[in-house]
Amino acid sequence: MKTKMQVQTCGKLYLAGEYAVLSPGHAALIKNIPIYMRAEIEVADSYELDSDLFSHKASLAPDADYALIQETIQLMHDYLSLLQRPLHPFALTIRGKMGKDGRKFGLGSSGSVVVLTIKAMAAFYQLKLSSDLLFKLAAVVLLKRGDNGSMGDLACIAYEQLVYYRSFDRMAIRQRLADTSLLEILEQDWDYEIKPIQPALACDFLVGWTREPAISSDLVKQVKSGLNEDFLNQTQLQVDCLKEALESADKTAVKDSISTASQLLDRLSSLIYTEKLQALREASQGLDCVAKSSGAGGGDCGFALSFATEDSQTLIQRWQEAGLELLYQERMGAHEPKS
Ligand code: PMV
Ligand code: MG
């Protein structure tokens, strides 16, 4: 056991497939965003938890603010005990709020904190966890909590890259958890797919922040009843097209599939495209760009792909004028096209 270890986890952003991915067997494309949460873990006489998300510290005694971290620690303790590893108290410090001025960005901080806590404990106990096992352990934590998400955020954050994620039947695995040992569950095939994607299309990837915090689980509850076969099938088609188009550097197809996925969301519920998100999307008009809301919508972030440097500047300026903040920017697609 080393004395002090450091780990980090990224944020994520849905490119396409949100809401549809809630239906088992449907896919989404989710991109890693290198805005990090960081953790330090070291040996201590008793458990000390300290996150800058809260103004107080905690131990393992029940604490509503620290519940997610505590439940993750509990799951890891169950796992370590099954591996017959002796447990030792530690001090865990978590930094990085994935937000500003008390408002979250919507980059998946709760998923990130679960993966971060698992990574920190794996480092502390010198366990080598594959990205896949990391994903499954984090998913078990959320399943036990009754989370209503697709776990797509965990897939992206555990793999730390742009992924194609096809979801599993969370209800079925949650039921299995009741009568199957954790080790067995972790070894089983849950029937999901997580495939890292290497975009070959060169473009600027821009993230715009609305500064309006949205709660995904609430939006999911409100929007879910509208998920019909037509939406699911059409969205799946666009996710598959976008994946192919990104890999083969087909600009027109990338733009088409993102715009169509965006229209499908717009038709699904009026809660998704807030005025700010509409402005984010409309800023791409007349430019060699495509823009879309990301994730549950109702606020948080959207993104744009821009294929001309001058147009990126115009788009950013239009965003600023509409009260949208450029949160992150990168040059995407430095890879050779897949033949
Ligand atoms: O808003 P986000 O980034 O939390 O994304 C939510 C995406 C949904 O498909 C609406 C829900 C989910 O868990 O997949
Ligand atoms: Mg969101």
The full set of domains in the chain, from first to last, is: 4-196 (3.30.230.10), 203-331 (3.30.70.890)
Q: Is any atom of ligand 1 closer than 6 Å to the C-beta of 109? A: no
Choose among 35, 28, 117: nearest CA to 70. 117
- At 1 the pLDDT is 53
For residue range 247-290, list pLDDT tens digits in order: 999 999 999 999 999 999 999 999 999 999 999 999 999 999 99
Please give the Cα distance from 270 to 293 (Å, whole number).
13
> Considering every ligand atom, which ligand is closest to the CA of 212?
2
Q: What is the DSSP string of 271-309?
A: TTS-HHHHHHHHTTTTSSEEEEE-TT-SSSEEEEEESSH
Q: Distance from the CA of 189 to the center of ligand 1, in angstroms?
A: 23
Mean pLDDT by 10 residues, the chain (339 residues): 86 98 98 97 98 95 98 98 97 94 91 97 97 98 96 98 98 96 98 97 97 95 95 98 97 98 98 98 98 97 98 98 97 73
Q: Is 21 helix (H, G, I), strand (E, B) or coil?
A: helix
Q: Which atom of ligand 1 is nearest to the CA of 106?
A: 3
Q: What is the DSSP string of 112-160?
A: HHHHHHHHHHHHHTT----HHHHHHHHHHHHHHHT--S-SHHHHHHHHT
Terminus-to-terminus CA distance in the chain, angstroms?
A: 46
Q: Whose CA is nearest to atom 14 of ligand 1?
A: 150
**Contact indicator for 13, 207 with CB cutoff of 8 Å:** yes
For residue range 302-312, list pLDDT tens digits in order: 999 999 999 99
**Contact indicator for 270, 61 with CB cutoff of 8 Å:** no
Q: Is any atom of ligand 1 closer than 6 Å to the C-beta of 106? A: yes
- At 156 the pLDDT is 98
Q: Distance from the CA of 123 to the center of ligand 1, in angstroms?
A: 29
Residues in the chain: 339
Q: Is 213 helix (H, G, I), strand (E, B) or coil?
A: coil
Q: Distance from the CA of 141 to the center of ligand 1, in angstroms?
A: 17
Residues 6+ apart with CB under 8 A from 146: 174
pTM for the model: 0.96
Q: Distance from the CA of 162 to the center of ligand 2, in angstroms?
A: 17
- At 336 the pLDDT is 61
